[in-house]
Structure 1
Amino acid sequence: MKRQVAKKETIDAEIVDLRAFCLVVDLGSITAAAKTLGETKGSVSRRITRLEHALGVELLRRSPRRVQATEDGLAYRMRVGRALELLEDANVAVQQARARPSGHLRVTAPFDLGLSILAPLSAGFAERFPEISLEMVLTEALLDFDAHQIDVALRATASLPDSSLIAHRLQHIEVGLFAAPAYLRKHGPVRRPADLEAHRLLLSQTTRGHATIALEARDSRERAEIRVRAAISASDFSFCREVALAGAGIALVPEVNVRSDLDAKRLVPVLKDHAISGGAPLYLVHPGTRFLPPKIRAFRDYLLDAFGVRGRREASG
């Protein structure tokens, strides 16, 4: 149904007249408003007079010392201000929708996930958006968007703090145990959780070389917690993966980090009939502004399409 605006509810007023009126009220001075607009004091005064005549209402009380809004003027200022903001938002939205994504895009992610997930996706993104310069900041530190000039962040976490940021859930990062076939042939298979105690474990996030692995049987839901010692521990999963490929032990790492190794049979899953705790959802996070810059919107949509979750916003955090 076509919507129409009744003529009796509108007046013949220029946008500049309305802006001039708002500035005079905000600044409390016709002279200051004229300076901001780059006009003469007389020009701004005529704009206000023209607006008052069109409305049939006195908006300002003028005296030699100051200019003050009337009660009607204050009420009108509030409503006109909201209308001007909406108009500006509409203009920006249309301009950004037509703008070709370009500029420098700064993205942060955990080191391991950056290598395993973002590295292959970055190639396709750079080819599709050649006018965007993509900078990847790979770190385990939780960088602040404003302080570190971050545009987009990938965060693997069980929960997100409340904030003005927008988060899109991409997938759940599953953790598993993986070893080279040569290692298992030499040291024997792992048939049950307790067998892990006799094997060489390659772990991250240990306490003085020790950790507890919690497992749950997929069929019976039976749980087990095994206290193990790390033969080798490291601060990132990529190192554990490399050591596992060298046949030095069983690595506890996210499945996404070793997906290509599993496909190529360089690594095989250990205790694949058990689910291992330690996984977390992976979120794409960006500022919660009403109109995202085209470069951020392009990167967000590209990853949402890649993960098959386009159009689904998970949370604010």
Structure 2
Amino acid sequence: MPSSLQRALVVHLRLRLKHRPFIEQLHPRDGAGRFALVPGVDPLLERIRAAATLPTRAPRSQPDFDEEEYGLVFRDGEGERVAKAYKANVVASLGRALRGIPDDMLLEERDFVQLADIQNGDVDAYLDPAVDEVRTTRPGAPPSNPTWTTLSPAAARTAMRSWSVNRMIADWAMTSNDEYFASLALQDIARDHFGLQPTADWTVTDQVAQEVAEHRAARGPALTAFLTSMWESTQNHLREADLGSLTVFRGMSTPDGRPPADWAADGATLDSPPLRPLSSFSLDPVVAEDFATDNGPGIVISAIVPAGRIIATPATGVGCLDEAEVVVLAGPGTWHWQSVE
């Protein structure tokens, strides 16, 4: 006869026969692919949308560089070695967050085709350590470079997915606007998915608009998860540093060293100036002044920004460490402006 302890450990399972197929739309997931707690509501997305409505606050005058705040955000100091370590950690972290995204949505089309060739045994895969890229050769052919290391199909897939995340970050470093379709698609997705307003319009050619639309259609879920995961990682980073807000600066070149005519200015205060959905700022006013005066006179805008409006730092996502860059979500609030030459 089993003891009372053994009887207490007995577990009875009752499995019900499903008469209907699983319907994904009835079981929404958050930005990391997890099931949401409330049907029809993505709790993480709701948090981001609520944070995006938090207003900025204009200081009475342009603040000085806050060395303590800088140290808390960039705890490991500066330098190329630190920047590489940051990005390696970011790629690994975001890669884990995007593990639920299918290969055909995360990888570029040519990379997806290459991965299929590797998995089908049509080519052999190697890792090129100089650039961390996957290379291929005909089956049985030696690698073109003796430093390349052999990869199994599973290892090749992992490396290619990491490279795709790294490319998303590199796209931002190359340009966050201009006419590069990948960065513009990221901007549009941030605006639409997070419900950001007000935002500045961005005029592009019909060809670029078509490229943006095609990129969103092909990789929209991956880009959305990338943004969402980056915001969540950034919030954890700032919370650990006990930072409820950041004082940020942005330099802008203007013809006369004044804000654009269509911005609502009251003396040195701007009321909810329209910014891009994702806008680069710096924690260092000198960096902002350099950008503002790159082509003549300009202005520096500054504000105290709630932590929830910060979507990325170099330690958690996109951003340049040597520019002390942080990326801010567009939203309401006041900003201080100052003319610089």
Q: TM-score range by the shorter chain?
A: under 0.3
TM-score by length of 2: 0.21
> Between Structure 1 and Structure 2, whose CA radius of gyration is higher?
1
TM-score by length of 1: 0.22
Report the structure, 1 or 2, having the larger strand content: 1
